[in-house]
Amino acid sequence: MILESWLKERLQTTDVNELFKRELLNLGLSDSDLQELLGNGPSPAWLDKWRQFVPQLLPGDELWRFESPPETWANLAGRAGYAIVRSGRIIASLASRRG
């Protein structure tokens, strides 16, 4: 379950390549590792998850980036990813990182 307090940033895109780049930048990789992964593009698993998630977006919905609080990461229970918000309520989420 994603809490509203975890919502961090409203996004303006659903482009899988753009969001894949954002995910990689959040990992803090070296420049060479980052360039290699960007060159390979999103993994099939990422694409499959994204293809199931995006069709849930309806006109007027908002796409948000979410991240659980620091203490959840310290306890190896953190999550981050994307949430679809409809009429002020989170209706779906896609975790892209767990910890």
- The per-residue pLDDT for 40 is 76
Q: Where are the domains of the chain?
A: 4-98
Cα–Cα distance for residue pair 22/55, rounded to 1 Å = 20
User: Which residue spans within 1-99 are E strands per DSSP?
Assistant: 7-11, 62-67, 79-86, 89-98
Quote the CA–CA distance of 66 and 54 in Å, as a whole number: 16
Q: How confident is the model at residue 45 (pLDDT cuts 50, 70, 90)?
A: confident
Model pLDDT, residue 16 = 72
At 88, list the tokens: 């002020």
Q: How many CB atoms lie within 10 A of CB 20?
A: 19
Task: Provide the pLDDT confidence category of residue 48 given band limits of 50, 70 and 90.
Answer: confident
pLDDT tier, 29 (very low <50, low <70, confident <90, very high otherwise)? low
Residue type at 21 in one-letter notation: K
